[in-house]
Amino acid sequence: MHSCKQDALNYHRAGRNGKIAIVATKPCRTQEDLRLAYTPGVAAPCLEIARSPDLSFEYTARGNLVAVVSNGTRVLGLGNIGPGAGKPVMEGKAVLFKRFADIDVFDLEVNSEKAEDVIKFCQLLEPTVGGINLEDIRTPECFQIEDVLCQTLSIPVMHDDQHGTAIVSGAALLSALEIAGKKIADVQVVFLGAGAAGIACAKHYRQLGVDPERMLMVDANGVIYSGRTEAMTSHMEPFARNTNLRSLTEAVRGADVLVGLSAKGTVTPEMLKTMAPRPIVFALANPEPEISPEDARAARSDVIMATGRSDYPNQVNNVLGFPFVFRAALDVRARAINEAMKAAATHALASLAREKVPDSVCRAYGVRKIEFGPEYIIPKAFDPRVLVWVASAVAGAAMETGVARQTFDLDTYRERLKQLGARLMHSS
């Protein structure tokens, strides 16, 4: 552990400090370059944008620029460590945006825990960027911030801790259900954790076809049931069920799916033994899952298991979602990221998992063959096809639902994405 810590510190400090830098995209070597880049030439695009504000997407970097905004109140598994301490995570997010979708990022850490301050900051920021990725903001403030921004801004906003997890785990769910031979409308699903990710996953699974009456949500205080008054929020109320069950142990008995978004060690092997045949268990707490895959498989040889870790099969990794959702949203100049776009991303990931995996991807992961099955229910992060499948699906949904400012032929767009993916692979 010490070695890993020191390696990480050396990595972030080596060479130029941090992980990102600003790079000019136009030459500035001659007097003529200077004349065009700044005064007097820069006045021309300024006046054009003043005449028609949407031209900022044509004459500036705005159309390929996302703001990653955080106040550091819930950073990874580290809690409320503040905006400055959270900055390495936001820089990391910028690296992933660039590596997987060629999207530029300003990481912006806001020095306030007040929801209204973050909202105002983002509202004032709108002319600068093409989209906003909210990150590592605690509940319930994250819900309020996203809700207000989605209502008041005309650029796409997404809280990745909520919707990225929902999109990717939703794809894993669709695949796991197919492998287990279960219909989505019939399964009993238990969510362990009623924070941002848990509530977002429950909402998204409902959109995918899970029966709301077959959902149970459990937090540190037990089952969320109708009439419960202890530690309840307005966002939890829609998931309160008329049930006599009170504990996680009771809730998982006979359940088909358990989605853990809580903390290490909160699920026991004994709990898994009481679940339905061919149980599906997503233990997504990081860095340590609610139950280890080893313990889960020892308890249930028929379990289909996913975690948030890269050293186990079936990693539910948000990098399979947010870069490609924003790639599409920027390319169609979407006004929002709506439910149809999120569902399109989920179905695209689930469909891709069923496709033959190229040898190049297998080599990247040091294996001879990867096949759809219990240990491969979602695509690998370094599969270049994810960009093409997800971004084109999301763009199509944006155009179909009317939130796109620009429309184009999807076959042509897929070819553009393939070329981009090839360039990103060669440059990485």
| 182 is annotated as an active-site residue | no
Asked if 331 and 344 touch (Cβ cutoff 8 Å), the reply is: no
Work out the end-to-end distance of the chain between its first and last CA atoms, rounded to an integer number of angstroms: 27
| 268 vs 296: CA distance, rounded Å | 8
For residue 190, what is the enclosing H or E element?
strand 189-192
Catalytic hit among 93, 98, 203, 342:
93
| 187 vs 211: CA distance, rounded Å | 8
**pLDDT given for residue 12 in this prediction:** 94
Q: Pairing mode, if any, of strands 257-260 and 189-192?
A: parallel
In the chain, the domains with their CATH numbers are: 14-155 (3.40.50.10380), 163-307 (3.40.50.720), 324-427 (3.40.50.720)
Closest C-alpha among 283, 70, 98, 290 to residue 160: 70
Average pLDDT over residues 176-186: 98
Q: Pairing mode, if any, of strands 222-223 and 215-219?
A: antiparallel
| 93 is annotated as an active-site residue | yes
pLDDT in tens, 338-378: 999 999 999 999 999 999 999 999 998 999 999 999 999 99
Residue with the bigger pLDDT between 62 and 426: it is: 62
Asked if 98 and 165 touch (Cβ cutoff 8 Å), the reply is: no
Q: What single string gives the DSSP state of each residue in 68-108?
A: EEE-SSSBTTTBS--HHHHHHHHHHHHHHHHHHH--EEEEE
Asked if 176 and 382 touch (Cβ cutoff 8 Å), the reply is: no
Cis-peptide into 40, omega within 30 deg: yes
Q: Number of helices (H) and strands (E), helices first, in the chain?
A: 17, 10
pLDDT in tens, 197-227: 999 999 999 999 999 999 999 999 999 999 9
Length, in residues, of the chain: 428
| 137 vs 157: CA distance, rounded Å | 14
- Mean pLDDT rounded to a whole number for the chain: 96
Burial class (CB in 10 A: 0-12, 13-18, 19+), 334: buried
| 243 vs 223: CA distance, rounded Å | 9
pLDDT in tens, 185-198: 999 999 999 999 99
* Alpha-carbon distances, residue 409 vs 399, 406, 415 (angstroms): 10, 11, 10
**pLDDT given for residue 400 in this prediction:** 98
| Prediction pTM value | 0.96
Asked if 57 and 67 touch (Cβ cutoff 8 Å), the reply is: no
Q: Three-class SS of residue 162?
A: helix
Q: What is the 8-class DSSP label of residue 334?
A: B
Amino acid at 300: R
pLDDT in tens, 307-338: 999 999 999 999 999 999 999 999 999 999 99
Closest C-alpha among 298, 291, 330, 282 to residue 131: 330
The CB density around residue 36, as the number of other CB atoms within 10 Å, is 16
CA 246 to chain centre: 31
Of all residues in the chain, the percent with pLDDT exceeding 70 is 99
Catalytic hit among 19, 26, 38, 356:
38
Average pLDDT over residues 256-268: 97
- pLDDT higher than threshold 80 for residue 428: no
**pLDDT given for residue 2 in this prediction:** 58
For residue 330, what is the enclosing H or E element?
helix 322-331
